[in-house]
Structure 1
Amino acid sequence: MNKLIASVILFSAVALSAKAQTDFAQTPKGARYRIITHGNGAKIKQDDIITFQFTVKTDKDSVLESSYQAGRPAQTKVRPSQNVMDLMEVFPQLSVKDSALIRIPADSLFAKQEDRRPPFFPKGSFLNFVVKIERVQTLNEVIAENNAAMAKMRGNDSTSRLKYIADNKLAPKTTTTGLQYVVTRASAGRKPMAGDSVWVNYTGKLLNGTVFDTSVEPVAKTSGVYQAGRKYEPIALAVGMGQVIPGWDEGLQLLNEGSKATFIIPYKLAYGERGTPDGSIPPFSSLVFDVEVVKVKPMNKAVAKTAKPATKKVVRKAPVKKKVTHK
């Protein structure tokens, strides 16, 4: 009797295993997939832009990568498949709000590079993707959406800049490029020309008051941006030569040696639509810099004797991250 029960259990297990295998469809390149939930929408087409969440696991459910952990979904354009890993054979089988399990044979990934096969992908194992299609759009729809989002960010930045000026009761001068500045300590010293060397103390802030960089040690400590081992002193640069963001190149040529000022720099003259790679300055961010021109050194003696203050139009260049030079 016990042998009969054991035989029935074994037969059932084999049958279930066989059914689990047949539940998967297989693509020409060898990817296996099974739709878990159906969104009942139109199938994804070539050139559609899809936004999707995903989790990548081993056969033992160890998570290798996840859009949920990253905090943002993935987005890609559907195109002809180049290899089994790009999932482009499977996406056209899905529709918006579908979720699916996609299994990629590990053997196909390491067929010609066995020496690179990690131990968690033994022979016969799979790389498992669980994907959920969140949005399906045409390229034109994505472009229109991005343009609207950028227009909103531009508007928000402009509004925030005006609010900052009003809240701080400033009356800045505005140049033709949009740079705004207030001289907080006047001086009769020499104005730098393009090519002159200047030494500048500075504190850089976002419009919300967050300090992201400074050359002044007490400010760094009170603002929480202090870096042990850094020399806090005026930075040296050649003004008007593209070594710093355009707002600095223009603004420093408006000041005299010994003067102090506050620059309110629009994003176009700062770090543009992308911000900084480290995220300390977000996209479309106007910046506030409190600066002091400590010293001006003419490019050469001949220029120092004959030159007049620079009046030529500033040529806009792509934003360049301000480089800190330490002595």
Structure 2
Amino acid sequence: MSKIWMMVASAAVLTIASCGQSDEETKPADDTIELSDDAKTGAELKADHNKAATENLAASNEFLKENASRDGVTVTDSGLQYMVLEEGPEDGYSPDSTDLVVVHYVGTLKDGKEFDSSRARGAAAQFPLNRVIPGWTEGVQLMSEGDLFRFFVPPALGYGENGTPDGDIGPNEVLIFDVELIKVQSAERNLETANQFLAENLKKDGIQSTDSGLQYQIITESDQGGKSPEAADTVEVHYQGTLLNGTEFDSSYARGETIEFPLNRVIPGWTEGVQLMSEGDKYRFFIPPALAYGEMGTPGGPIGPNEALVFEVELIAVK
């Protein structure tokens, strides 16, 4: 789980099975639990935590004070510090606190120890900007698409005196993040972009539109007189799905195998569009947000709110 999330919790349940042992074999000899000599009491653990919190806060304050005097470091009223490493295009969009953002990032402690990285996972992260630590909520709003910033996040804007439950981030640790803002997922902006694209796309040769607003282009037509599906049929297809900028978010071709599903159990643009096809046909569909994932997008990405989608679909068989 990404360390930048602060409002997502998980719980684990430890289940102990007897594995076929009898009650007598699994029953403890008595009710006494013996602790090892080095086991600490709750009071001792709390004292250790408080000591670490005090020491870390002093070290963090000293680091931030010295860092603030470095060339290129800017300090906001909240105490957040940042450096601009690279600037994106001038027309890049800046997010509001309620927007979804798509980012790449690397998080380290002040000693250089890496505790989280989307780059190491090989996939950009998407999240609502108001659902992460305060240093991120404030800092990323200073950026525009294409920018690369380095943030120095004080403990009060990070994980405070508690740190993280897994212990990777201790109490009152200052955090350093290199953040690249790839895209701002604004529902209003995405809808405007989708409508503009679809209006221009409809002017192109070979593009047809249905009454619902679904657009399609016939890439290849089978001459075998194949069957066309109805909404309740199960179909076998190959497909590739991309965003308007060409980013691929799903592909049966990439997985190397076709997929089967009931046609009435997918997004409306698919349910309607594939019924226009016959076995052996290959179409390209341009799907408006209302016929795709709407203003919600997909949880956690990669499809943002009100994004238009492009699918190339090959109808293999109607089951």
**TM > 0.5 fold call:** no
TM-score normalised by structure 2 residue count: 0.44
Q: TM-score, normalised by structure 1?
A: 0.43
* Higher Cα Rg, which structure: 1
